[in-house]
Amino acid sequence: MEILATELAKLLDIGVDKATELYPLLGTQYVFYSILGNLQDIAAIIGIILVLVASVFYFCTLMDDADDDVIKLRKFLVGALITGIVLIIVGIVAFSFKLYLAPDISLLLNLTQ
C-alpha cells in the first residue's frame, strides 16, 4: 500500500498523506472502470458480430421462396438483428457510464499515456 501511495503521490504531485486518503476512492472508481470497460467490450463485439451475421443471412433468405421455414428463419434473424443493435447500444451506454462513474481513473490513464 505504501508503494502504491508513493507512486500515486508522484503521479499527482501531491503528498503521500493525501494520496493515502485518495486511494480508497480511486480503488472504487477503478472497479467501476474495469467492470464497465469489460461490459463495453463484450457487448460491442458480440453485438457487431450478431448484426453482421444476421444481416448477411437475412439478405440471403430474401432470394428464397416464402415457405414456413424461411419465414421462421427470417423472424429469428430479425430478432438476432434487434438483439445485436441492443448490445451495441449497451456498449455505448457502458462507455458513457465508465467515464461518468470513474472520471479520476480516466484522467489518470490519460496522464500516464
Burial of 38-76, coded b for 16+ CB within 10 Å and e otherwise, reads ebbeebbebbeebbeebeeebeeeeeeeeeeeeeebbee
pLDDT score recorded for residue 35: 94
Q: Which long-range contacts (CB under 8 A, 24 or more apart) does 96-102 make?
A: 97/32, 97/36, 98/32, 98/33, 98/36, 98/37, 98/40, 101/29, 101/32, 101/33, 101/36, 102/29, 102/30, 102/32, 102/33, 102/36
Residues (pLDDT < 50) of the chain are: none
Half-sphere exposure of 65 (CA within 13 A, CB side): 2
Q: What is the pLDDT of residues 85-100, one digit of tens each?
A: 999 999 999 999 998 9
pLDDT above 90: percentage of residues in the chain? 42
- pTM beyond cutoff 0.85: no
